[in-house]
Amino acid sequence: MFGDMMGMMGKLKETQQKIEETKKRLDTVLVDEKSSDNLLKVTLTANRTIKSIEIDESLLQDKEQLEDYLILTLNKAIAKATNVNEAELAAVAKEGMPNIPGMDMFK
């Protein structure tokens, strides 16, 4: 029994290390999102850090329109990056979960 507990603890520690490695790798995964008319483009990492924003000249004439474009496009990009982030981390966590009776909700 004690050996099983030590094995589980080792597996959890290994999984934690894999999660940290995955988080670092997600800093290099880029997610692009564009407005429907391609006047605004944003690029984020899968860890939801903004890397670039490209704004068409025509949007610089109208502050409110630009703000609307930024809000809509950034929210879509953040949602997309969040999906990538959660899927990657969930896959690593699921892979490393020890087989504990009654805890199969994570599988």
Cα(64)–Cα(66) distance, integer angstroms:
5
Q: What number is the average pLDDT over the span 73-78?
A: 97
Q: Between 100 and 18, where is the model more confident?
A: 18
pTM, to two decimals: 0.75
Residue 77 sits at the vertex; the CA angle it makes with 76 and 80, to the nearest 5 degrees, is 85
Indicate the SS3 state at residue 52. strand
Residue 14 sits at the vertex; the CA angle it makes with 10 and 19, to the nearest 5 degrees, is 145
The pLDDT tens digits for 33-66 are 999 999 999 999 999 999 999 999 999 999 999 9
